[in-house]
Structure 1
Amino acid sequence: MNLDTPQLVAIAAALGWASGLRLYAVVFLTGLAGALGWVDLPAGLKVLEQPLLLWASGGMFALEFFADKIPGVDTVWDVVHTVVRIPAGAALAAGVFGSDEATWATAAALLGGTLAATSHIAKATTRAAANTLPEPFTNLGLSLFGDGAVPVMLWLSWAHPIALFVALGVALVVMVTLVWVFFRFLKALVARLAPRRQHVH
């Protein structure tokens, strides 16, 4: 499969954005698709097809799937992975172009890292706000939505890159809005709880 520049950019964007939500799912599903011959991965991503990496990413994918369903645990998982998802998203995006196209790879890394940061912050903020609710269904629903959004966006980047750009544009607007709304909510919640803690002491 000969991939033109717009499609390579779409793949890089999808890998970066999705890494901010489900890094291990991205690594495993992309590597598996390449290993099974469903897609012809660019040279910089061929390493994802290696059996050892597939087993490792598959195991972490399963662990993250369950950790993301447990209120509180999901927030801790997100905090720990702040230092992992963003650089990994940048590296995956850069791998789409490889070392032979240094300029494009650098641009892709910046794009991937930015998108990974945006989706990660939106996810972490939204889930932290959802964990303040007394019922578990909102949290579970958000987690399942993330499980479904990642493979859909990855598929769109390969099959329908224009649709990917449209979907990504909508997702970014929604995510930025969610970060703004829920950050204000969490800030107000902390401000309300602080006087109570001081009063207790």
Structure 2
Amino acid sequence: MGIMEIIGVAGSVSLLAGWRLYLCIFATGLAMRLDALPLPEHLAALDVLASPWVMGAAALAAIAEFLADKVMWLDSIWDAAHTFVRPVGGALLALAIIDPADPATQVIAFLLGGGASFAAHAGKAQARGVVNASPEPVSNIAVSTAEDVATVGLLYLAYEFPLIAAGIAIVLLALTVWLLLLARRIIGRLFGQRKPPPPG
């Protein structure tokens, strides 16, 4: 596995952890236990994710996140509580993917992984805040379900096809930036409409 593929996998997993950290941990561990996810030898450090204890804890947390993420405003509270958890988790996942024999690369992976997770988390949190402000509660469930499906699908692609993992990471980063810009624009319009009319 080349350095670009490794960085691509690390970047993809880190970004996805910013959306669904516990689902990333559980899905990866489950796929490893079922031998459905043929990880390269280089990624043997991720074997800890297949531990029954780690998978059990991740499954419980993923279920709690799945339910909380479908409830209007509770999802924003959950996101706020995970502002520090997701970036650290994404950074640690990226750290596990990078070759431990290269400390300099690991430091870079840890910093970039944490940054990628935080960017994805920020984009998700802002976008969900906008969705929560809309009058239709079904939108919240639809967006959350789309995030669940996208996380599982993109996680599978990142590990199964490492050659396109870097492309996945770039697409996710572009989507995150787009969500941040869209959320800022919508929030600006909402607050702009609520300004009182000028006197006179």
CA contact (8 A) 1:10 1:161 kept: yes
Q: Where has structure 1 moved over 6 Å in runs of 4 or more? A: none
Residue 8 of structure 2 corresponds to 10
Residue 107 of structure 1 corresponds to 108
Residue 78 of structure 2 corresponds to 77
CA contact (8 A) 1:7 1:157 kept: no
For residues 8-60 of structure 1, the C-alpha deviation after alignment (integer angstroms, 9 at most, x for no partner) is: 22221121011000000011111112222232362322211111111000111
Residue 179 of structure 1 corresponds to 180
Deviation at 1:114, TM superposition (A): 1.8
Q: Using the alignment, how far apart are the partners of 2:2 and 2:47 within structure 1?
A: 18
Deviation at 1:88, TM superposition (A): 0.9
Gaps of 5+ in 2: none
60-69 or 93-102: bigger deviation? 93-102
For residues 112-158 of structure 1, the C-alpha deviation after alignment (integer angstroms, 9 at most, x for no partner) is: 11211111111000000000111112211111111011122111112
Residue 199 of structure 1 corresponds to none
For residues 75-117 of structure 1, the C-alpha deviation after alignment (integer angstroms, 9 at most, x for no partner) is: 0000000010011101110111253221222222122112111
Q: Using the alignment, how far apart are the partners of 1:185 and 1:124 within structure 2?
A: 14
99-108 or 66-75: bigger deviation? 99-108
Deviation at 1:4, TM superposition (A): 3.6
120-129 or 133-142: bigger deviation? 133-142
Name the Cα RMSD after superposition. Answer: 2.0
Residue 31 of structure 1 corresponds to 29
Q: Using the alignment, how far apart are the partners of 2:140 and 2:163 within structure 1?
A: 31
Percentage of pairs with the same residue: 31
122-131 or 156-165: bigger deviation? 156-165
CA contact (8 A) 2:39 2:159 kept: no
DSSP 3-state at the match of 2:177: helix
Gaps of 5+ in 1: 196-201
Q: Using the alignment, how far apart are the partners of 1:157 and 1:34 within structure 2?
A: 14
Higher relative contact order (CA 8 A, sep 6+): 2
Deviation at 1:193, TM superposition (A): 5.7
Deviation at 1:190, TM superposition (A): 4.8
Provide TM-score, normalisation by structure 2.
0.87
Q: Using the alignment, how far apart are the partners of 1:40 and 1:175 within structure 2?
A: 27
145-154 or 5-14: bigger deviation? 5-14
CA contact (8 A) 2:15 2:172 kept: no
Residues matched between the structures, number: 193
Q: Using the alignment, how far apart are the partners of 2:112 and 2:131 within structure 1?
A: 28
Residue 62 of structure 1 corresponds to 63
1:131 maps to 2:132: yes
